[in-house]
Structure 1
Amino acid sequence: MKVAGDWIARPATQAVCAALTGAGHRALFVGGCVRNALLGAPVSDIDIATEARPERVVEVAEAAGLKAVATGIEHGTVTVVSDGLPHEITTFRRDVETFGRHAVVAYSDDIREDAARRDFTMNALYALPDGTVVDPLGVGLTDLEARHVRFVGDAETRIREDYLRILRFFRFTAWYGDPDAGFDPTALAAVAETVEGLAGLSAERVGGEITKLLAAPDPAPAVAVMERTGALAQVLPGAAARLIAPLVHLEARTGTPPDPIRRLAALGAGEAEGRALRLSKRETRRLARLAELQGAAMAPAELGYRHGAEAARDALLLQGAMAGTPPEDAALAAAEEGARQRFPVAARDLMPAYAGPALGAKLAELEARWIASGFRLSKEALLEDAHRP
């Protein structure tokens, strides 16, 4: 079996492989690029495994006229830049001792040892520069074809090496698992035994995994199982999964692309959770607004006018998920129409007749009348009313 695609045929990428193989070393694509290529999914990051030690990789790359950057040389990784494209090259490794996220590793010349320390069998697939797939463990291809997400070797051991793998298990199952096959029972048993280890992870790592999971086309089954195993409560105390499935359904029905922040709001997350997960300031503000708007008793047009088309659409979807009824097309259209409106009266139009608190109150009164009119009252009509004795 071979992988194919523009990514592997690129001269820049083949030049990196040729530099290694020309110097007598192996060069094998590994992990996500191989997995995604076999699934027909987009390939972004390109990882290459080799038995060459990091210092040798730098030497070989520079001799070939390529730029070598020691981005993770202490972990055996060198980034080689070819025609502006980064390629992460990592030396085969084997675990000597593991504790939490950290591990004592030794370099290896054995691809099977390298494969045995990876997280999931579908990530332990390699490919030669010509695309020929190499499956050192003998199960990766079968599991990938079956969309079976399972740990390499003993699941509990893999998790205790890095508790983030609990969240990665749910994310990978949401993205790549067979939705009709359910979840690997051995993995779930291991999660139940180790779930408390999630408490020791950094907020940044948890936030990154949660948002990647919630960006999946349909994360609802994974989130529901996370809730049953206790994993959801560990990373988002107080979160509830019940609205995720209805929201995903409404998104599909209205042609709305998946959005992890909207889905976080459906879990019950707000500003505090956004900060706890170390989301960006913009994402945290958006999450806080959605938490507020879920219960807002505001007409769709006013929602759009006051909060913008995106927030209004999100609020209507979240409200629909809570009520169990989809937002009507007319409501979504009204929200978009409202977002395009601009209140025609400015403070200077009311001065000097009004000043201070009276000016603010009159502006608010006129704006409310204008919104109630369906944005149809003109500036002249509004000002005539404002200046009427």
Structure 2
Amino acid sequence: MKLVADWLTDPATVTIMTLLTQDGHGAWFVGGCVRNALLGRGVEDIDIATDLRPDDVMALAQAAGIKAVPTGIAHGTVTLIVDHRPFEVTTLRRDVATDGRRATIAFTDHVDEDAARRDFTINALYAQADGTVLDPTGEGLADIQARRLRFIGDPRDRITEDYLRILRFFRFHAWYADPIAGIDSEGLAACAALADGLGQLSRERVGAEIKKLLGAPDPAPVVAAMAQAGILARTLPGAMARMLPILIAFEDAPPDPIRRLAALGDVEVAAGLRLANAEITRLSILRDGMSSATPPDALAYLHGADIAWDIVVLRASQFETPVDPTVRALIARGASAVFPVKPADLMPRLSGAALGQALKTLEARWIASSFTLGRAELLSRLPQSE
């Protein structure tokens, strides 16, 4: 079997592969770029495996005038940059020892040893410069064709090498497996049995995996499986999966992990994910909006059209009621509304804290009127004490 993909013949890719295969050395595309090309999906990153040692890769690149960055040279990885594009080049490796988070590796000249240390059969496919696909495990191509996600060899062995693979198992299933076929039972049982190992992972790693999972087209069946296996309770304590499939059915916007996280729980539920401050703020707004009676136009004025729509859809999912089709117009009106009173309208009569409070009071009245009160009417309603 051969890959057919534009990136195979891209001049930058050809330059890298020509560099790495001179003097009889081997270089192979590996992992996600091969998997996605076989599935007909887009490829963002091109990873390459080679039998060259990292120092040799650096030396060859320097001699050819190619920028080389030793991004992980102790583990065999050098990033080569051609036409402003990065290519991760990693020496073939085998694991010597693992502790559930990190591996001690040794370099090898054998592709099958490199494949054996990877996680899933569909991620252990290699391709030569001309696109010829290699399947060292003997199972990757069949699993790609069946859209089946399976660990390489014994799932327990793969998981104890790196406990992050528990979460990757669910994330990759949501993105690449056939949802009708269901989750591999052997892999699911191993994840459930070894779930205690998740405690060894950093919150950053867990958070990154959960967000990638929730960004899949429809992660609801996988999240339900995580709940059944006890994985959800360990990563999102207190999360409730019931609302997620309803939200996904109601969505008419691109998948958004924070919107979907709001369907699972509040900021406390997501505390173990180490979200960015902006993500925490947005999650808080969404959850507060779900429990408030603030109308859609006011939400749009206060938070913008996108967040207002997210709250409307979350509310509808919460009560399992369809979204009112007139809401879009309300949100558009709120998002474009401009408060007609300026600070200068109240000066010099008011200043400082009193001025700020008066502006807040008038703005609240204006919002409550669905933006119908004009400047003159608002100013006339300002009590003398203000």
TM-score category, normalised to shorter length? over 0.9
**Quick one: structure 1 residues 365 and 70, their matched pair in 2 at CA, closer, same or farther if it must change by over 3 Å?**
closer
Name the counterpart of 2:9: 9
- The Cα offsets for residues 66-97 of structure 1, whole Å up to 9 and x where unpaired, read as 12211111111111112221111111111222
Q: Measured at CA, do residues 62 and 378 of structure 1 come closer, stay the same or move farther in structure 2, by a change above 3 Å?
A: same
Aligned-residue CA RMSD (Å): 1.9
1:160-309 to structure 2, matched below 5 A, reads 160-251=160-251, 255-270=252-267, 272-274=268-270, 276-309=272-305
Question: Which position in structure 1 is the counterpart of 2:325?
Answer: 329
* Contact kept? 2:97, 2:105, Cα under 8 Å: yes
Instruction: Kindly provide the CA deviation profile for residues 223-280 of structure 1, in whole angstroms up to 9, marking residues without a partner as x.
Output: 11111111111111111111110111111xxx2111001111111031x455532221
Residues 275, 284 of structure 1: 8 Å contact kept = no
TM-score by length of 2: 0.95
SS of 1:294's equivalent?
helix
Take 1:65 and 1:113, find their aligned partners in 2: how far apart are those partners? 32
CA distance 1:384–1:26, shift in 2 (3 Å): same
The separation in 2 between residues aligned to 1:156 and 1:343, in whole angstroms, is 61
Q: Deviations over 1:322-347 (max 9, x none)?
A: 00012212123212321211211134
Contact 1:23–1:60 (CA under 8 A) maintained in structure 2: no
| Matched positions, count | 385
Q: Distance in 1 between matches of 2:77 and 2:358?
A: 65
Structure 2 gap ranges (5+): none
Q: Does 1:315 align with 2:311?
A: yes
**Normalised TM-score (structure 1):** 0.94
Separation of aligned partners in 1, 2:138 and 2:361: 72
CA distance in 2, matches of 1:173, 1:377: 53
The 2-side partners of 1:352 and 1:288 are apart by: 37
The aligned counterpart of 1:95 is 95
Residues 20 and 26 of structure 2 are in contact (CA less than 8 Å); yes or no, is this contact kept in structure 1?
Answer: yes
Aligned equivalents of 1:138 and 1:305: distance in 2?
Answer: 57
- Determine if the alignment matches structure 1 residue 34 to structure 2 residue 31: no
Is contact 2:101–2:200 with CA below 8 Å preserved after alignment?
no
C-alpha distance in 2 between matches for 1:61 and 1:12 = 13
**Greater shift in the superposed pair: 327-336 or 222-231:** 327-336
CA distance 1:63–1:364, shift in 2 (3 Å): closer
Is it true that 1:341 corresponds to 2:337 in the alignment? Answer: yes
Give the conservation status (yes or no) of the 8 Å contact 2:127–2:134: yes
The match for 1:154 is 154
Query: What is the rounded CA distance, in whole Å, between the counterparts of 1:344 and 1:285 in structure 2?
Result: 28
Partner SS state of residue 29, structure 1: strand
Alignment check: 8 A CA contact 1:100 1:162 kept: yes
Q: Which amino acid in 2 is paired with 1:290?
A: L
Q: Give 1:261's aligned amino acid.
A: I
In structure 2, do the counterparts of structure 1 residues 373 and 16 end up closer, same or farther at CA, with 3 Å as the change threshold?
Answer: same
What SS class does the counterpart of residue 194 from structure 2 fall into? helix
* Alignment partner, residue 54 of structure 2: 54
The residue type paired with residue 329 of structure 2 is: A
Provide the rounded CA distance (Å) in 2 between the counterparts of 1:300 and 1:83.
Answer: 47
Per-residue CA shift, 1:129-150, capped at 9, x if unaligned? 1111111111101001111011
